[in-house]
Structure 1
């Protein structure tokens, strides 16, 4: 259980067998390659790095082409979404099944067809923009009910079309009063300008021109056949034809939307193919021989050996040995029982253990289970959480990560129910006959319970630290770093209790004081033992003893177990009070009350669960892990791409 035992391998194989080898190892999956370029000893011996194969760029192009097709088809995807999609889940394939399905799908001609269709759609869209722009330019001239081409045939007069700032229209009209053979008409007005048409004789043309220039006239040449209204109508008809043509092209694409699932399979296959080629970056070579190193789980060595043998037509050399415990470069895989496995994401989120370390998951899981439920503390909420997650686990085809999260919440629902029964709370309502502790009135008792749990949590963490020291052959470190702290802390706690309670035997106070002093003296004498000088050792010991103030802060931190439980309970009670007031208002109030109850309690459940998760994680990471756990391990990288659209087994 916990940290999976690893074996490291060294493999010498002919370059000609590399592609078949990588293909078989990817089917095997559990291979973590070592980047040999980082090992200078090999390079100094004359080994060369493998060049990135040209196939990588080729596969990258194919991935982009497939992604183009997927993005196009997603616009027309009518598959189930939301809850229905979660229940149905992703399709699952073995690696061999995925390869066969992809081989049966000649997708490149389909992509070429998509490119041609989208090219035509783009061209039509460009023409649409041009037509719409032309219509917008003509819109202000719609009131010009004359064929614009006739303006060019006048022998004794001339027509001007253009715009003038609206604020200059009045001065313009006054200036035109001096001309007898000139006419100006305003066809329409925009925000800041007026669209005008002017008619003048050849004799007054120059004067008219001068007046227009003086009033900021801008000429607009109307390139239309017929009237502007007729031209706009023709363009509108043209737009309708373009719209219909686009619909036909889009309908043709939509008719192939069923290919989306197959393209997703191709996409996942190509990502794995790219990973396979990129893996060659980790290898070295000498002549025609490749040098490959990495790690595999020890319990899979036989399957790994068979995968290698299956691909080697020529001679090869394979060396397998169990990884050394002190080797911090060994990648980490965790393996726990069904209960602890649901909590592994919390360890991963913080930091994986090193190979010579300890997996903290099964150690903190029971405490996380208890603390989470205590912070919510309502058996009504627990039942809702249990039913929702239980149904999801039963009927939904969830991927591994989703299933672990549902199972995580499913387990926590039982803790929530248990604490809710102890507190006697059901959706914020009290059930006095059930309650062992009433949070709303016995908050001092609840605080004592919270601090007591904190003490157990902290002393348990120190006990793990002692175990690790003894395991590593350092029993004195266990005494110095844990034993003396046990004596100091437990002695101090008992001594304070004898002072506060007063009815405890006097000898108990004396013994606890002696134990506390012995522990403190031991911390002072050993806390700075790594320093070289006597003064340094003593100063280091005094500083270590000062760390007792940190323990006081740690104990206080566990008051959040009480605080979160009370806050969620008070919010639920407030919601119930509002519902009660609404119910007193008759049938409309009852309807509103039901809505407020369901919405309010659902929101409070979400808020309480989120707060419980965050604060329980904080107690785990800071107070618990801070006593014994460093982490720092690197994750084992499966020789598989993480799937997004399907499950590859």
Structure 2
């Protein structure tokens, strides 16, 4: 759950062996060398020299240093561990052990670089994305098509899509989630009756589906706050973790607002009162944090008041934003229903009508599959970035950029 552990090292070599040592470093491709240029000669010229010994500093994954040291020993050089400079964060490299992590990593790297001290949320983010996509694209038949696409990608077929092969766990997971929600909705290429409704029919129970979407969003937001609290603690200690808007203060406000909404919905007065107390506590903590960040004084508290109003509005709107999980699920179900109604109406005429019905069914589902899959993918990404990642990440790290052999 953390980026790959980095070590600060110095590649130390006799002056006459420095270029050979740097060539080995470049071939290994495991050191982020301190450099302003990728040319070997430029890096060698910038090396620190003491008498007949030269050194070049950089960052290396801890598990790679022994192998690098063994290779350098062949030319009389060494990879020497150094203390981490104060105030300097190591570069970040996300773990890529296994196909699932490799498939989900682009979700994180597209948004930004995970700070070295933060939690690596790759697996959690991938699971959240798959869940949200499945809820919006709930159709067992179309979900099985996505499963088939994922399996084909894994097999490396067709060859022209070979560059997307690493995405097969992502596509397969989205297909499984869509299939599962399709079974819950009773959707199999629309309301064909092939699978029974195990939970609810989106078009018959839209309010319940909307409530479920918001509830799912509340769970995802709570998980995001949990990760964010850990990140704030690692970034700035317990004080930042408590007073930050994405820390304990923000989490308390969120839980309070969610509890008030739930209490009003259930008619539980005691829950409403308890949730209000938690929300007020969160507001007080956040207000102190905002005032301290703005320098204190009257102007600081005025700014804190404005930011408190903003955080209340944003927290409520972020929670309600997850209603789109249900809204787009309803749209998908509505399109499937229209296609199926048209199919059955044409088929009832017999003869040419049956052929037309088959054509409508195939084309309608192809259109629904392509458009709705794209919409669900975009909306899930939007929720991931704006509602979840905006809490998890507050600062950006520096990516690990190893110096490779082709740079010579």
* TM-score normalised by structure 2 residue count: 0.85
Whole-Å separation in 2 of the counterparts to 1:366 and 1:325: 36
Whole-Å separation in 1 of the counterparts to 2:9 and 2:169: 36
Whole-Å separation in 1 of the counterparts to 2:280 and 2:398: 42
Q: How many matched pairs?
A: 398
Partner-residue secondary structure (3-state), 2:401: coil
User: CA separation of 1:331/1:323 partners in 2, compared to 1, >3 Å: closer, same or farther?
Assistant: farther
Verify: 1:405 aligned to 2:167, yes or no: yes
**Once the two structures are superposed, what CA deviation does each residue of 1:563-619 show, in whole Å capped at 9, x if it has no partner?**
211112222222223333433454444334333322331232122222122111111
Verify: 1:341 aligned to 2:105, yes or no: no
Residue 13 of structure 2 is matched in structure 1 by 13
The one of 583, 587, 597 equivalent to 2:347 is: 583
Residue 34 of structure 2 is matched in structure 1 by 34
Does the Cα contact within 8 Å between 2:2 and 2:120 map onto a contact in 1?
yes
Residue 478 of structure 1 is matched in structure 2 by 241
Two-structure CA RMSD over aligned residues (Å): 3.1
Partner-residue secondary structure (3-state), 1:632: coil
Give unpaired runs (5+ residues) of structure 2.
Answer: none
Verify: 1:604 aligned to 2:365, yes or no: no
**Once the two structures are superposed, what CA deviation does each residue of 1:10-43 show, in whole Å capped at 9, x if it has no partner?**
2243565455445433442323222067xxxxxx
Residue 324 of structure 2 is matched in structure 1 by 560
Verify: 1:634 aligned to 2:395, yes or no: no
Does the Cα contact within 8 Å between 1:525 and 1:537 map onto a contact in 2?
no
Q: What does residue range 143-222 of structure 1 map to in structure 2 within 5 Å?
A: none
Verify: 1:625 aligned to 2:386, yes or no: no
Whole-Å separation in 2 of the counterparts to 1:611 and 1:351: 23
Verify: 1:352 aligned to 2:113, yes or no: yes
Of Structure 1 and Structure 2, the greater strand share is in 1
The one of 51, 56, 68 equivalent to 1:304 is: 68
Verify: 1:3 aligned to 2:3, yes or no: yes
**Once the two structures are superposed, what CA deviation does each residue of 1:345-371 show, in whole Å capped at 9, x if it has no partner?**
111111111222232212322211210
**Once the two structures are superposed, what CA deviation does each residue of 1:91-124 show, in whole Å capped at 9, x if it has no partner?**
xxxxxxxxxxxxxxxxxxxxxxxxxxxxxxxxxx
Tell me which structure has the larger Cα radius of gyration: 1
Kindly indicate whether structure 1 or structure 2 has the higher relative contact order, using CA contacts under 8 Å at least 6 residues apart. 1
Does the Cα contact within 8 Å between 1:459 and 1:486 map onto a contact in 2?
yes
User: CA separation of 1:327/1:641 partners in 2, compared to 1, >3 Å: closer, same or farther?
Assistant: same
Shift of 1:385: 0.8
Q: What does residue range 383-422 of structure 1 map to in structure 2 within 5 Å?
A: 383-394=144-155, 396=157, 402-422=164-184
Whole-Å separation in 1 of the counterparts to 2:160 and 2:57: 35
Whole-Å separation in 2 of the counterparts to 1:306 and 1:527: 52
User: CA separation of 1:466/1:636 partners in 2, compared to 1, >3 Å: closer, same or farther?
Assistant: closer
Does the Cα contact within 8 Å between 1:10 and 1:293 map onto a contact in 2?
yes
Of 335-344 and 381-390, the range deviating more from structure 2? 335-344
Does the Cα contact within 8 Å between 1:386 and 1:413 map onto a contact in 2?
yes
Whole-Å separation in 2 of the counterparts to 1:400 and 1:293: 38
Residue 124 of structure 2 is matched in structure 1 by 363
Does the Cα contact within 8 Å between 2:133 and 2:377 map onto a contact in 1?
yes
**Once the two structures are superposed, what CA deviation does each residue of 1:190-247 show, in whole Å capped at 9, x if it has no partner?**
xxxxxxxxxxxxxxxxxxxxxxxxxxxxxxxxxxxxxxxxxxxxxxxxxxxxxxxxxx
The one of 523, 527, 530 equivalent to 2:286 is: 523
Does the Cα contact within 8 Å between 1:331 and 1:633 map onto a contact in 2?
yes
Whole-Å separation in 1 of the counterparts to 2:108 and 2:378: 14
Whole-Å separation in 2 of the counterparts to 1:3 and 1:612: 29
Q: What does residue range 7-156 of structure 1 map to in structure 2 within 5 Å?
A: 7-14=7-14, 16-17=16-17, 20-35=20-35
The one of 88, 92, 96 equivalent to 1:327 is: 88
Partner-residue secondary structure (3-state), 1:343: helix
User: CA separation of 1:428/1:475 partners in 2, compared to 1, >3 Å: closer, same or farther?
Assistant: same
